[in-house]
Amino acid sequence: MSDPDLFVTTSEAETGGVRVRVQARYSPEHSHPPASRWFFLYTIRISNEGETTVQLLNRHWTIVDATGHTEEVHGPGVVGEQPTLEPGQSFEYTSGCPLATPFGSMAGSYEMQRKDGTRFEAEVALFQLIQPGSIH
The model's pTM: 0.93
In the DSSP assignment, the letter for residue 115 is: T
Q: What pLDDT is attached to residue 70?
A: 98
Beta bridge partners of 74: 60
pLDDT over 50 at 11, yes or no? yes
CATH 3.50.50.60, applies to 10-130 = no
- pLDDT digit string, tens, across residues 32-65: 999 999 999 999 999 999 999 999 999 999 999 9
Which distant-in-sequence residues (6+ apart) come within 8 Å of 88 by Cβ? 48, 49
- pLDDT digit string, tens, across residues 93-127: 999 999 999 999 999 999 999 999 999 999 999 99
pLDDT over 80 at 134, yes or no? no
Beta bridge partners of 84: 55
Query: Pick from 63, 62, 59: which is nearest to 76 by CA?
Result: 59
Q: What is the DSSP string of 27-94?
A: -GGG-BGGGTBEEEEEEEEEEE-SSS-EEEEEEEEEEEETT--EEEEEEESBTTB--EE-TT-EEEEE
Q: What pLDDT is attached to residue 121?
A: 98
pLDDT over 70 at 135, yes or no? no
pLDDT band at 3 (very low <50, low <70, confident <90, very high): low
More confident residue, 135 or 9: 9
pLDDT over 50 at 1, yes or no? no
Q: Where are the domains of the chain?
A: 10-130
Q: What pLDDT is attached to residue 136?
A: 52
